[in-house]
Amino acid sequence: MTKAELVEKVSSQINLTKKQTEVVVNTVFQSITESLSEGKKVELRGFGSFRIRQRNARIGRNPKSGTQVDVPAKKVPFFKAGKELRELVDKDK
């Protein structure tokens, strides 16, 4: 599902225009992004949680040439599905 499809689906279920719904969806995504960039955890009960994970520096390999490459340490966003979401996704159809 794309963001446009999400806006379409949400606007069809509530009494807002697509433009107003797009502002709401963008605000939610922006709030999650800002919290993660500040190092905070975002928890949406029943859905899951977003947090930042630290990846250590390592020696990688260039797949084309095979030479070793230093890969620096970095922070990456990580999503962990909540129990309800995991159960819904794993449910037999």
Residue 8 clears pLDDT 80, i.e. is over it: yes
Integer Cα distance of 37 and 84 in angstroms: 27
Integer Cα distance of 32 and 38 in angstroms: 10
pLDDT in tens, 29-88: 999 999 999 999 999 998 999 999 999 999 999 999 999 999 999 999 999 999 999 999
pLDDT at 93: 58
Integer Cα distance of 50 and 44 in angstroms: 8
DSSP alpha helix (H) spans, 1-93: 3-13, 18-37, 83-90
